[in-house]
Amino acid sequence: MGMSSPKCFSCAMAIPRFASSIAFMVAGLAIFVIVASVLLASSPIFSSFQDYFLSVDHGRESRPPIPPSFAGNHRPEMFVSEPSSPKPVSGSDAVNYDANSTVSDANLCDLYHGKWVYDSGGPLYTNMSCPLITQMQNCQGNGRPDKDYENWRWKPDRCDLPRFDARKFLELMRGKTLAFVGDSVSRNQMESLLCILCQADMPKNRGSRRMHRWYFKSTSTTIVRIWSSWLVHKTSEPMVFAPDGVAKVHLDLPDEYFMEFLPEFDVVVLSSGHWFAKPSVYVLNGTIVGGQLWKPPQNARVDMRINNIEAFGLSVETAVESIAAHPNFTGVAIFRSYSPDHYEGGAWNAGGSCTGKVSPASDLVRNEYTDVMHEKQVSGFGRAAEKASKKSNLVFMDITEAFGYRPDGHPGPYRSPDPNKKTKRGPHGEPPPQDCLHWCMPGPIDTWNELLLEIISKRF
């Protein structure tokens, strides 16, 4: 371009004016940012941003405060479904303890708070379409006359829990192994999963006396169950003044049996708690520190400071910490929360009953023992998760509150096909023998596996 004097003079005059304009714009923008920051910091808009990133739920004011054990930097994951977002960060501090709370206007779903809604679509299987149901859980086969308990689905507050897709699960778990570790309620959940999956592919039993193992040929998926009633080390031999036959529960040592197989599992679902109501002796560092339905001799000098509830919390902490620290375990460890029972009018062995319950309760059925066991489980999990490395993939699947509404979901007196079994109260009001701990199949327990699939789908 040519350099004529008039043009150069115009350019020279324009440069200062242009620079002045820029300076004025920058100053104005700075003032705007400062004012906006002050306003946002005190406004609901800013609060919603906090809610999204810190997972705060202002809409659930009645929720209990975070236990002190979660006050540190490393916090366990209370699983949050993210239907339209990438896989969540794994690790014990992936989200806040209270991150299972629903966050308004965010893609986070509170899976564990909601309501039961009637579903005319019916259950995922029937007692006739699944040959794998344990007879004690086959409520329809055992003569239970009502069926509506099969037709209720869990509806989280601000999202939908997808109906279980057996093909999706098998594809997600292609070439992988999922293990259930725990007591008979854990077995109950495993059998529910098998019943759902066998509607798509019938598994082959490849188990042994040491381990139940089911293999789905279509996707080379394996489902395993390992019995571990305490999740920690147990011995029966005499110990000091504790006699032979009474379980010695070593609260600071994990159950070596399931730990031996842990590296083989891609997903492990652990649960426990109900065996802590049984006679047992509690041991820490090789020393007896307490017991349940057992007392030392009168002349024995022992500090019985640990009861069964405290013992449960310590056992959970030990199991979680040991799994997180295992050098060869790279899978996902999911701890299912305490499963509520619904014995009314007494304990399971003292006339408790759930006879006549045919639909979900309209109000949460509170049980003091269930509440405190759940609290100890949460705090034990939290203490261990705080100590875990960031690469640990720990999830707490909290079903306790949701299933407090389902006294109708238990077998009750329909525990066996015996045509002569008692199913009604006696002449003096005494209830018949019944099971208000385990769950009918099909029934509410199938929801546990819908929650399980939702968790797994965000990781594979």
Residues carrying an active site annotation:
184, 435, 438
Determine the distance from the C-alpha atom of residue 426 to the mean position of all C-alpha atoms in its chain, rounded to a whole number: 38
Determine the distance from the C-alpha atom of residue 355 to the mean position of all C-alpha atoms in its chain, rounded to a whole number: 28
Which DSSP state fits 135? G
The pair of three-digit structure tokens given for residue 261, joined into one six-digit string: 């197989």
Are the beta carbons of 447 and 189 closer than 8 angstroms? no
Are the beta carbons of 337 and 399 closer than 8 angstroms? yes
For the chain, give percent helix, strand, coil, nearest 5. Answer: 35, 15, 50
Which DSSP state fits 304? -
Distances in Å between the Cα of 384 and the Cα atoms of 54, 380, 389, 392, 412 are 21, 6, 10, 11, 36
Residues written for the chain: 460
CA pseudo-torsion sign 365, 367, 370, 376: positive
φ and ψ at residue 290, rounded to 5 degrees: 170, -175
Q: Of the candidates 115, 86, 70, which has an alpha carbon nearest to the alpha carbon of residue 78?
A: 70
First to last CA, the chain: 62
Give 400's Cβ-side CA count (13 Å radius): 23
Q: Of the candidates 309, 314, 310, which has an alpha carbon nearest to the alpha carbon of residue 253?
A: 314
In whole angstroms, give the CA distance from residue 92 to residue 85: 20
Are the beta carbons of 219 and 206 closer than 8 angstroms? no
Q: Which are the contacts of 455, defined by CB distance < 8 A and separation ≥ 6?
A: 79, 332, 334, 395, 397
Give the DSSP letter string of 81-119: B-TTSPPPPPSTTSS-GGGGS--TTSS-B-TTSEEEEE-
Cα Rg, the chain, nearest whole Å: 28
Task: Determine which helix (DSSP H) or strand (DSSP E) holds 253, and give its type and residue range.
Answer: strand 247-254
In whole angstroms, give the CA distance from residue 146 to residue 234: 41
